[in-house]
Structure 1
Amino acid sequence: MTILTVNGETDIRRLAKNILIPIVGGSLVGMLATRKAKEKYRKLDKPSFAPPSWVFPVAWTGLYTAMGLARYRVSLKEEQEFLPESAPLYNVQLGLNFLWSFLFFRWGLRGTAFIEMAIMLSLITITSYEYYQRDKTAGALMIPYIGWVTYALGLNYSIWQKN
C-alpha cells in the first residue's frame, strides 16, 4: 500500500485537486493579504521563539500538501464506503486559515486573528479526529498541522501582547 492508494484505488486527478486547492489558495492569499509581510514582520516586537520570515512559506507548503493528501484519502474512503461527507469541516477550517493572513497582516487585527486562530485550531482538531475515524493515515497527516497551528497560536498571542 502506498500513501496515494486507498482500498486499492488511486485517483491522480482527485489527488492533484485536493493538494492544489490549499497550495494555490494559500499562495493567492499570500500575494493578496501579506504584501510587505516580511517588512511588517521584521518591524514587530517578537518573542524569542519567533522564526525568521522565510520559515513560513516553507512550512505552509508542506502543511498544505499534507492537508490536501489527507483530504484526498478521506474523500476516496467516503465515496467507496458511502460515508457522510466530511468536506464542510475541512472547508471551513481552510477558509479560516486563509482569513487569518488578512486579519493579522493586511488589517493588523492581531487580537481578532488570535481568536480566529483559536477557533480554527478547534476545527482542525475536530477535522483531524473525523479523518482519523475514516482513515488513520489521513488523521496522522493532519497532526503536523495541529502542531504548527498550536505553535502559531502562541506566537500570534505573544506578538499581539508585545505590539
Structure 2
Amino acid sequence: MKKQICWALGATMLMLVAGGASAVDKNVQVKAKVVGTCDFTDANDVVIDFGTLTPGGGDQSKSASTNFWCSNGVNYQVSLDNGLSPDGGGKRQMVLSGGTPTDVIGYTLSPDKTSGTATGQSTPIPLTLTGEVKGTDYQDAKIGDYNDTVILTIDLAP
C-alpha cells in the first residue's frame, strides 16, 4: 500500500510541475484619451433687456452674464455673430415685432473676454456681455417691442 501512495503523490507533483511550465504572459494595455471641449454651465439664454427706451433718454447700457468651462489646458475663443437682422455693414439691429425690415434700433454687443486658457470643468469661467444703444438710434423709433437673437460661441482656439 505504501508504494501505491508514493507513486500517486509523485504523479500529482509531476502534473503540477508540468502545468506550471506551460503558463504564458501577455500585457494588458489600459488607455484613455481626454478630448478638448467647452460647454456652458446652464442651458438658459443670456438676456440683455434695455427695458423701456424713452426718446431723448440718451445712450443706454445693460449687461448680462453667463458661465462656461473648457477642458483643462484648452485655449478658447469667444465670438458673437451679427444677429438675425444686421445692416449692410454688419452692425447688429433689433427689429420691431410685426414691423417692417426698416423698423430697427441699432446696438452694439461685446464680451468682457475674447480668449483665454481654461483649467477644467470644476473652474467655470464667468463671461459678461454688455449691450449699448445710442440715444440717436432710437430717438425716432416707432413704438413697440424690438428684439434680436445673437449666437454666442465658445470654441477651441487653434
Answer whether TM exceeds 0.5 for this pair. Answer: no
State TM-score, norm by structure 2: 0.22
Q: Which has the higher strand share?
A: 2
TM-score (norm 1): 0.22
Considering only CA atoms, is the larger Rg found in Structure 1 or Structure 2?
2
Higher helix proportion, which one? Answer: 1
